[in-house]
Amino acid sequence: MTAPTSEKTGNNTGSRGDDKASGTTARKTNPLVTEQGTTTIADVVVEKVAGLAAREVRGVHDLGGGTARALGALRERIPGASASTGQGVSVEVGETQAAVDLQIVVEYGVAIAEVARLVRRNVITAIEQMTGLEVVEVNINVNDVFIPGDDDEPETDTGRVQ
Rounded to 10 degrees, the C-alpha dihedral 116/128/91/41 comes to -160
- Residue of 20, 6, 102, 12 lying closest to 55 (CA atoms): 102
Residue 67 has pLDDT above 60, yes or no: no
Q: How confident is the model at residue 13 (pLDDT cuts 50, 70, 90)?
A: very low
**93: β partners:** 98
pLDDT of amino acid 30: 82
Average pLDDT over residues 16-36: 61
Provide the residue type at 152 as one letter: D
Q: How confident is the model at residue 3 (pLDDT cuts 50, 70, 90)?
A: low
Distance CA(79)–CA(118), nearest Å, equals 34
Distance CA(140)–CA(88), nearest Å, equals 10
Higher model confidence: residue 149 or residue 105? 105
Residue 81 has pLDDT above 60, yes or no: no
Distance CA(158)–CA(51), nearest Å, equals 40
Provide the residue type at 130 as one letter: M
pLDDT of amino acid 75: 52
Tell me the pLDDT of the chain averaged across its residues.
79
Q: How confident is the model at residue 8 (pLDDT cuts 50, 70, 90)?
A: very low
Q: What share of the chain is helix, strand, coil (3-state, %, to 5)?
A: 25, 25, 50
Distance CA(61)–CA(148), nearest Å, equals 10
pLDDT of amino acid 100: 97
- Integer angstrom CA distances of residue 149 from 63, 76, 81: 18, 20, 26
Q: Which residues make Cβ contacts (< 8 Å) with residue 30, sequence separation at least 6?
A: 96, 132
Give the least confident one: 16-20, 83-87, 118-122, 130-134.
16-20
Residue 72 has pLDDT above 60, yes or no: no
Q: What is the pTM of this model?
A: 0.69
Residue 78 has pLDDT above 70, yes or no: no
Q: Which residues make Cβ contacts (< 8 Å) with residue 28, sequence separation at least 6?
A: 17
